[in-house]
Amino acid sequence: MFDLLIAAGADVNGSNEHNEHWSPLMLTVHRDQPEMRRVLLERGARVGLIEALMFEDDALVERLLRPGKSALPTIEPNSGSILAFARTPFAIDRLLELGVAHDRKDRWDTTPIQAMSRLGRRGQSLVQHMLKRGIAAEPQEYARIGDKDTLVAFIAANPDIARSDAVMMGAVDFGHHDLVEWLLAQGANVNARTDWGSRHTALHSVAWNGDLRMVKLMVEAGADITARDPEHNNTPAGWAKVAIRVTNNPDCQDVAEYLYGLEGRTSS
């Protein structure tokens, strides 16, 4: 589809006001599509500050933020702080020096440090750098980056944190198998749900990700394979089946077959 659009002369910069002001280049980073990014750049796609931040191009960020340049965008993607798009410690420091908000939430009620934690392991060094700059993080942020040591300390002081759905979802969403297993041993809710969007369960999330190892871990811990999300009214197996087409992840096929097999045995 991408090749077809390019051949038909599609605008490589796109019309982004209806897409939270995300450019095609930004989407290639977010969706990990380096070949698409190469093609867009070869065809003259604009690289502004947000793209430079996401490209981890500190030299370009430094040039764009040189004194006297009006490089800070007047329109910020996601209606939040551009700090959420920083991908290097240098970029974090430079934006903070310029007074960019570190606590401004976007349209999904997400702060920059929360957005960085949602990068999973890739965001660990960024979250740690933000912490060094005195910016606080919540337990679920540590769960997303797989920082078990910090969570152990949090939970020792307040055992209720282990039973937080947000903490469980954070560990599950980013594939931290050992951390999920440990949280379950501490009393975490195996049927944790998100508190936004489709209100899906943790099992829905791992089914969508095609993580069969995590699916089996959670099923063995008692996860409800028949649970449905309120938005789509679908089971985890149904999510895996949809993900096969939407995400093109072949691992979702194995998950779907496994969960449908369990559903069949349960119904019989």
Task: Give 75-88 pLDDT, tens digit per residue.
Answer: 889 999 999 999 99
pLDDT of residue 122: 86
Q: Which of 58, 43, 34 shows the shortest CA–CA distance to 6?
A: 43
C-alpha angle 174/257/187, rounded to 5°?
Answer: 45
Predicted TM-score (pTM) of this structure: 0.80
Q: In the chain, where does the domain assigned CATH 1.25.40.20 lie? A: 196-268
Structure tokens at 137: 């993080």
For residue range 154-190, list pLDDT tens digits in order: 999 999 999 999 999 999 999 999 999 999 999 999 9
Measured CA to CA, the distance from residue 126 to residue 112 in angstroms comes to 10
Q: Which of 62, 46, 111, 120 shows the shortest CA–CA distance to 85?
A: 111
Q: Which CATH architecture has domain 196-268?
A: Alpha Horseshoe (1.25)
Amino acid at 99: G
The answer to whether the beta carbons of residues 21 and 76 sit under 8 Å apart is yes
The answer to whether the beta carbons of residues 43 and 6 sit under 8 Å apart is yes
